[in-house]
C-alpha cells in the first residue's frame, strides 16, 4: 500500500532556514502537498506541487521534488516562531475519488 514517511522532529533557531523532508512510495501520485497544523486546529494547506515539476517557490516556502527518489522537501526561509507547528506532507491523485495519504507529521520547533 501507499506509505509516506517523515522525520518526527526538527528544531531550528529563529531566522535560520528549516528543511522538512518526506519520502513516499506511490509513483502514480500526481499531487504532493504540504500542510501545517497548529495545536488543536485543522490543517492549513501551505502549498502543493505537481509531480511533473521539480521545484515550486511561494514567498518563504520552497518545495523540491525528486520524483526518481520519491523525495519531497519543504524549505522555510527565515523561520519565525510563528512557524512552530506540525507539518504534514501528503500525496494524492488529481482524478478519482481517493483522499490523500498523509505522513506522520514533523514537529517544527523554532527557538527564539
Q: In the complex, which residues of this chain contact another protein (CB under 8 A)?
A: 31, 33, 35, 40-45, 48, 88, 92, 94-95, 97-100, 102-105
| 63, β-bridge pairs | 56, 74
In order, the DSSP letters of 9-50 are EEEEETTS-EEEEEEE--TT--EEEEEEE-TT--EEEEEEEE
The C-alpha cell that represents 1 in the structure block: 500500500
Locus of grid cell 507547528: 85
Minimum separation from the CB atom of position 15 to another protein (A): 28
Taking the least distance from each CB to another protein, the nearer of 24 and 88 is 88
Taking the least distance from each CB to another protein, the nearer of 68 and 95 is 95
Taking the least distance from each CB to another protein, the nearer of 24 and 33 is 33
The C-alpha cell that represents 55 in the structure block: 521545484
The C-alpha cell that represents 34 in the structure block: 504540504
Taking the least distance from each CB to another protein, the nearer of 76 and 89 is 89
Minimum separation from the CB atom of position 2 to another protein (A): 11
Minimum separation from the CB atom of position 82 to another protein (A): 18
Amino acid at each position: 500500500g501507499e506509505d509516506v514517511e517523515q522525520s518526527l522532529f526538527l528544531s531550528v533557531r529563529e531566522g535560520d532556514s528549516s528543511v522538512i523532508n518526506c519520502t513516499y512510495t506511490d509513483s502514480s501520485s500526481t499531487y504532493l502537498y504540504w500542510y501545517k497544523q497548529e495545536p488543536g486546529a485543522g490543517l492549513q494547506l501551505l502549498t502543493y506541487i505537481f509531480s511533473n515539476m521539480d521545484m515550486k517557490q511561494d514567498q518563504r516556502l520552497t518545495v523540491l521534488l525528486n520524483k526518481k527518489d520519491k523525495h519531497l522537501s519543504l524549505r522555510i526561509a527565515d523561520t519565525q516562531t510563528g512557524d512552530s507547528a506540525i507539518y504534514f506532507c501528503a500525496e494524492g491523485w488529481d482524478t478519482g475519488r481517493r483522499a490523500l495519504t498523509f505522513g506522520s507529521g514533523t514537529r517544527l520547533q523554532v527557538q527564539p
